[in-house]
Amino acid sequence: QAAQEAQERGWHLYLVGGAVRDVLLADESQPLLLEDVDLVVDGFHRAADVGAGVTLAKALRERYPNARLDVHGAFQTAALLWHNDPVLDSLWIDIATARTEFYPYPAANPEVEASSIRQDLYRRDFTINAMAARLTGRRGEALPLLDFFGGMLDLRSRQIRVLHANSFIEDPTRIYRAVRFAVRLGFELEPQTQDYIQYALESGVYERSLGANTRAPALETRLKAELKYILEAPYWQRAFQLIGSLGALRCLHPSLKLDPLLWWRVRLIDRWLRRFDPDQTLKHWQMRLEVLIAHLEPQERGKVAENLQLPIDSIERLQHLGQAQTEVVESLPQCQRPSEVVLLLRQYKLPTLVLIAVHSYRAIRRKLWHYFTNLATVQAPLNGNDLKRLGYKPGPHYKEMLDALLTATLDGVIQDEADAQAFLEQ
């Protein structure tokens, strides 16, 4: 339908980017489900057609009133979204007008000017993502694949190859994208591309933009989105190792490296989370990111978390982690009775405690593990309702009574309801 709408207006319409790559890689035995489709309109000559992508999206919206239409004027793009549609299920179609981008300064937001499809493809990240399939044409005509940069060859030889030397300087998220595609598709980073990554990292451009606070917020958002994508993928460990071996954690902070201790910590927190948060009430990808940030000096953590626009509770946790860690490491060894351990540790939430665990020496870790497995879930034999039933008048003293009961239970002084009643009567 989109092609027909474009054809009627004398425009060309192309399928571009990841969908072309995925169609070309698809295995015939497995159905390919495209959820995210990028289209580009090109071939117009009048200045008035610069917003062709938006015009097309609006025309399609009229045909499919179920779709949601989002227009991003500044970029001449529009998106059509279907969510749980009975026919299309979930589908996201981005329609852009062919464009080039120039970068006013490195690592900034791209600005847009109308141009041709070749230039549109040239501004993309990797050869395998820079092919287009034309969807418009004369009836019966075989629709061509536009492959100006050797994408097909790279798909066959399984290479992630960047289109130009400055690609990573312009957009550091591409380093993480390179890693993501390499690991997900089982491809190699082509040697020259690796050199460009090294060059970009060593040029210090990211550090400078960090220090001078000239990073566009959109870049931070994209960095975080890429990190999320990677850290929640089933292949996150391999991707993370590749990021580490490229030295690409530097994009987050100049001193951040994947040393053996950090690698051990990210895997350890995973084990703790699987054990103590099996239902994933916490975002495990975010906890992995927090371990990375917590590997920095305490005074640096909050700033990096803020730059990445982590949620406020996460920023605060990282800001106060150093202090919480000192308190726990100093006080926990002095706790003699189980109730003292619970009294100390229940002030902290699970994410803080697991972060403390992976940053502590073994004896502390063991005590924390024991707390989670044996103490944190202990309950007194009576609760508030029971106290009421037993004739105790409700009031603020309930908390004291319940605390005393819990302490006595934890320390083995009482075991059942009868013990508890006797204990209260004393």
Q: Which residues pair with 41 in a beta bridge?
A: 13, 97
Of 197 and 294, nearer to ligand CTP (C-beta) is: 197
Helices (H), ranges, 9-150: 18-25, 52-63, 117-122
- Is 368 within 8 Å of 394 (Cβ atoms)? no
**Least Å from the CB of residue 375 to ligand CTP:** 43
Quickly count: other Cβ atoms within 10 Å of residue 201's Cβ.
Answer: 22
Residue ranges in contact with ligand CTP by CB under 6 A: 17-18, 36, 38, 124-125, 129-130, 171, 173-174, 177
Q: Which residue is nearest to ligand CTP (CB)?
A: 18
- Is 117 within 8 Å of 140 (Cβ atoms)? no
Of 36 and 277, nearer to ligand CTP (C-beta) is: 36
Q: At what angle do helices 312-331 and 350-358 cross, to 10 degrees?
A: 60
What residue type is 290 in one-letter code?
Answer: E
Q: What angle do CA 98, 81, 143 make, to 5 degrees?
A: 45
Of 107 and 258, nearer to ligand CTP (C-beta) is: 107
**Least Å from the CB of residue 22 to ligand CTP:** 6
**Least Å from the CB of residue 173 to ligand CTP:** 5
CA distance 369 to 356: 11
**Least Å from the CB of residue 23 to ligand CTP:** 11
Residue 94's φ and ψ, nearest 5 degrees, are: -100, 130
List Cβ neighbours of 91 (8 Å cut-off, separation of 6 or more). 34, 35, 37, 80, 81, 82, 85
Of 79 and 262, nearer to ligand CTP (C-beta) is: 79
Of 185 and 344, nearer to ligand CTP (C-beta) is: 185
**Least Å from the CB of residue 20 to ligand CTP:** 8
- Is 340 within 8 Å of 347 (Cβ atoms)? no
**Least Å from the CB of residue 75 to ligand CTP:** 12
First to last CA, the chain: 82
Of 61 and 184, nearer to ligand CTP (C-beta) is: 184
The three-state secondary structure class of 168 is: helix
**Least Å from the CB of residue 280 to ligand CTP:** 22
User: Smallest Cα–Cα separation from 273: which of 379, 364, 358, 375?
Assistant: 358
Side-chain-facing half-sphere of 277: CA atoms under 13 Å: 17
- Is 79 within 8 Å of 93 (Cβ atoms)? yes
Of 230 and 356, nearer to ligand CTP (C-beta) is: 230
Max Cα–Cα distance, the chain, nearest Å: 94
**Least Å from the CB of residue 147 to ligand CTP:** 13
Of 72 and 349, nearer to ligand CTP (C-beta) is: 72
Of 177 and 250, nearer to ligand CTP (C-beta) is: 177
Quickly count: other Cβ atoms within 10 Å of residue 29's Cβ.
Answer: 5
CA distance 325 to 356: 6
**Least Å from the CB of residue 311 to ligand CTP:** 23
| Cβ burial, residue 213 (10 Å; 0-12/13-18/19+) | exposed
Of 34 and 59, nearer to ligand CTP (C-beta) is: 34
Of 220 and 277, nearer to ligand CTP (C-beta) is: 220
Give me 284's structure tokens: 């495990």
**Least Å from the CB of residue 125 to ligand CTP:** 4
**Least Å from the CB of residue 94 to ligand CTP:** 8
